[in-house]
Amino acid sequence: MSVLQEIVAGLGVPNFKVLVPEIIILITAFLVFAIELLTRARFAITVVTAVGLFLAAIPTLTMEQGDITFYGLYIVDSFSLTFKFFLILSTFFVVIVLRPYLEAKNTYYGEYYYLILFSLLGMMMMVSAPNLITFYMGIELASISIYILAGMFKKDYLSKEGAFKYLILGGTGTAVISYGIALVYGRTGSFDFATIANTINSDNLDVGAVAGIVILIIGLALKASSVPFHFWTPDSYQGAPTPITAFMAVAAKISVFAVILRVMVEAFPFAYEVWNTGWALLAAASMIFGNFVALRQENVKRMLAYSSIAHSGYILAAMAAPTGAAFTALIFYSLVYIFMGLGGFIFLSAMERQHGWNNNINDFRGLAKRSPVLALFMLIFMFSMLGIPPTVGFFGKLGVFIALINSDIWWLAVVLVVMSIVSAGYYLRVVIYMYMHEPKSKAKVELSVGEAFTLAFMAVFILILGIYPTVFWDISQILSSLLIAGVGR
């Protein structure tokens, strides 16, 4: 047996082949590391990373579902595969816009690329976790890589501050999560989601189990930057290099939502009275706080950071209703947030390369005259985040609405509505500045191919999905029914 065959055979690990996407990402990361070390060929690094991501994305689409590997520590089902695909996709878009941005800012480091890949690997582990151990390892790998990524602007005070805050609070989150895991383990004697679900049910919820769940929720809420555990978000989002902010706001967030859904549904399906109230309160707090503070921001990047807190609220609101419709809504909103979030942040990243652009709201003055197409894209992103049809953001909110009203949680639906109206205040401001003010400079906006492609792709996709959301609804529904079927409810 050759070495290659031995690797393929997985050294005795059953179903090793389902790990192909992860292995490709890992190999790509090492490859990029080697290239960076030996040649420093910037173009080659980008290309290798992009190709690696592309190759890793293919098996996530073709693979069959439902395999467990590493002796029950790693599950590859449709749920994880779909999320892996979208995580790889969003990473791909970040990678193709990264180099022009870094070069414009004079802080190019090859480390960016393999750190992003390692972080992606962590996220892929997170969404594939049927077990608190795998989940913990994934969340750590993803977080630690991002702490470094957020602080890569070594000369910039804001970047250092943001990364430091993120490190401290993220570390706290990890500690809290491990404490929650310890409590759950102490109560059930197992890390395995299925075993936990079988041990804890609504009849035997005691202090230990409730405390474990609540502490775990707090830790996860911190990772999802939900109010009141959001303090790291605005600073680290603002300080980080903008494509990295996009990566944090989209990929990291989405994987956290996926893992929240998985942990809550698979490990604690019979304890939902505890967690749905918890999530409802966190969601309401996030919506209210995120939106009102975003309203006061002059810096658009910071505004988008706060608005992402609000979006966490909208998405987590679905967790308040433990029904299939709610889980579908959560998955759907998470998936469509990828497009809006990437669109918004990558727009800023592309604009930051332009002369004299500081992300201040005043920089948006008259953009529609300088570049009508770009302004139109941003208009689409803003209206989608606001939730106006025919953009897909509307369907995201509609799904959450339906779920909330279906479960008679009217108060949260009303909070969601009122907060959406508040959010109109700041999203419209961007549109107003772009379209209704005179431009300060007449300079043409110049984009790299990657940036133009990404922005156009996101804007067009938002519109297509807004007009024909069926495919995404179907995906979301299948995934949520899969989760529910997994616990036999």
| Residues of this chain that bind another protein (CB under 8 A) | 368-369, 372, 379, 383, 388-390, 394, 398, 401-402, 405-406, 413-414, 417, 420-421, 424-425, 428, 431-432, 435-436, 468-470, 473-474, 477
Task: Please tell me whether residue 76 adopts helix, strand or coil conformation.
Answer: strand
Q: Residue 192, SS3?
A: strand
What 3-state class would DSSP assign to 357? coil
Torsion angle of C-alpha atoms 459, 302, 259, 98, degrees rounded to 10: 60
- Least separation in angstroms between residue 409's CB and another protein is 12
Nearest to 370 by CA among 440, 429, 427, 299: 440
Q: Which is nearer to another protein, 103 or 474 (CB)?
A: 474
Return the number of the residue (5 or 470) whose C-beta is nearest another protein. 470
Q: Would you say 124 or 479 has its CB closer to another protein?
A: 479
Go through 189-205 and write b for each residue having 16 or more CB atoms within 10 A of its CB, e for each that does not: ebbbbbebbebbeeeeb
Place of tokens 């595969």: 81
Q: By CB neighbour count within 10 A (0-12 exposed, 13-18 middle, 19+ buried), where does 130 fall? A: buried
Write down the least CB distance from residue 27 to another protein, Å.
39
User: For residues 101 and 427, which CB has a smaller minimum distance to another protein in the complex?
Assistant: 427
CB of residue 405 to another protein, shortest distance in Å: 5
Nearest approach in angstroms of CB 252 to another protein is: 29
Angle between helices 253-262 and 300-317 (to 10 degrees): 10
Q: How far is the CB of 262 from another protein (least distance, A)?
A: 22
37 three-class SS: helix
Judged by beta carbon, residue 159 or residue 476, the one nearer another protein is: 476
| Min CB(86)–another protein separation in Å | 19
Tell me the C-alpha distance between 153 and 104, whole Å: 13
Backbone angles phi, psi at 285, to 5 degrees: -60, -45
| Cα distance between residue 138 and residue 260, in whole Å | 13
Cα–Cα dist 75/73, whole Å = 7
- Taking the complex as a whole, the smallest distance from the CB of residue 58 to another protein amounts, in Å, to 27
The helix/strand/coil state of 230 is: coil
Q: How far is the CB of 435 from another protein (least distance, A)?
A: 6
Strand partners, 467: none
Q: How many CB atoms lie within 10 A of CB 34?
A: 12
The two three-digit tokens of residue 481, written as one number? 């029914």
What are 67's strand-pairing partners?
A: 76
- Cβ closer to another protein: 260 or 434? 434
If the CB atoms of residues 417 and 485 are measured against another protein, the closer one turns out to be 417
If the CB atoms of residues 174 and 391 are measured against another protein, the closer one turns out to be: 391
Q: Report in angstroms how near the CB of residue 342 gets to another protein at its nearest.
A: 21
Instruction: For residue 74, list its beta bridge partners.
Output: 69
Task: Report the residue number, 27 or 361, with the smaller CB distance to another protein.
Answer: 361
